[in-house]
Amino acid sequence: MKRLTGIGLLLLFCAVWTTNAQRTTSLKINEVLVINEDNFMDDYGKKYPWIEIYNSSPGTVNVAGCFLTNDINQPKMYMVPKGDVLTKISPNQHVLFWADNKATRGTFHLNFTLDSLKPNFIALFDSDGRTLIDSITVPAGQQADISYGLIEDGWDQKRLEEELRLNSGYIEKKGDKLWIYFEKVTPSSNNKILETNEKIDNFKENDSTGVGMTLTAMGVVFVGLLLLYLIFKLIGRIAVGLTHRRVMKTAGVTKEQAKGISEQSGDVYAAIAMAIYEATELHDEENTILTIKNAARHYSPWSSKIYTLREAPKR
């Protein structure tokens, strides 16, 4: 009974966790481009301001039914249509909305646009039209083709403060602001794009000629070979020792006796070898005489084939 109860609680926890993971509260306004002169084009080949929404949860979230607006007093300004499979945002992925004031062009075309001369308030509301999911005010004076986005995809102020506390060098690399400007605009892509490899850069800086890497590689190879030699040498000695022990145990010879035998001079071993050779290889003169003897063969008329042949009839 206790086991069934534990399984039931585990299944309930998994169901609750999955439900929370797929809630729209995990959606974030991730990046905004107000002035689009030479940047990403929509499906009609036109260049308009765009708003990027990011799913920070480990589950797929459907943004359909949610509301996007640029007026806090009109939270239901644009409802994302239902029934479009593209509104389902996979984990850690993005979706792009065009602020072109042309909602008749499709699901991802909003019924409002952004003003480059003043601050732009953007908010994402849940399907009830009252619950605020996320919002941002883009400062006035935006430059062309430079977006305004989160320092890292889906981050909030709490996540940034945690990173600053754990990583002392983060400020030097990125700064301490949650929202920053991106000269390299990344619509429907990660805000952080690695254009360089830190390990390769360090290698070029510290060992540009490659001498250190060569010596290190050769050292690793030689050390590996030396270790293999020592291991095989040790295994061989252990195997020989075990074999000697088995032989001594079978012959009833002690270790001291075996050691005395092994310390005999070479003359003794030569004499023993000669005696073995004479006993097994040398023969008397009778062994050099060849004897030829006819082998007797026994034939049976019943087994001979000639008796089965028929004679030709006489004419």
98/106 Cα distance (integer angstroms): 10
Instruction: Give whole-number Cα distances, 179 to 15, 146, 149, 184, in Å.
Output: 34, 13, 5, 15
> Residue 219: helix, strand or coil by DSSP?
helix
223 vs 226: CA distance, rounded Å: 5
Domain boundaries, given as residue ranges, for the chain: 20-195, 212-282
Q: How confident is the model at residue 268, as a pLDDT?
A: 72
- Give the phi and the psi of residue 109 in degrees, each rounded to 5: -115, 120
Written as six digits, the tokens of 146 are 């430079």
Does residue 159 sit in helix, strand or coil? Answer: helix
Q: Report, as ranges of residue numbers, the positions in the chain whose pLDDT lies below 50.
A: 15-21
Distance (Å) of CA 298 to CA 227, 303, 307: 72, 11, 16
Please report the pLDDT score of residue 18 as a whole number: 44
20-195 maps to which CATH number? 2.60.40.1260
Q: What is the pLDDT of residue 286?
A: 55
Residue identified by tokens 């074999």 is 243
| Cα gap 2→4, rounded to integer Å | 5
Residue 306 corresponds to which tokens in the numbers above? 């000639």
- pLDDT value, residue 183: 87
pLDDT at 309: 59
Pairing relation of β-strands 67-69 and 132-138?
unpaired
The two most distant CA atoms of the chain are separated, in Å, by: 137
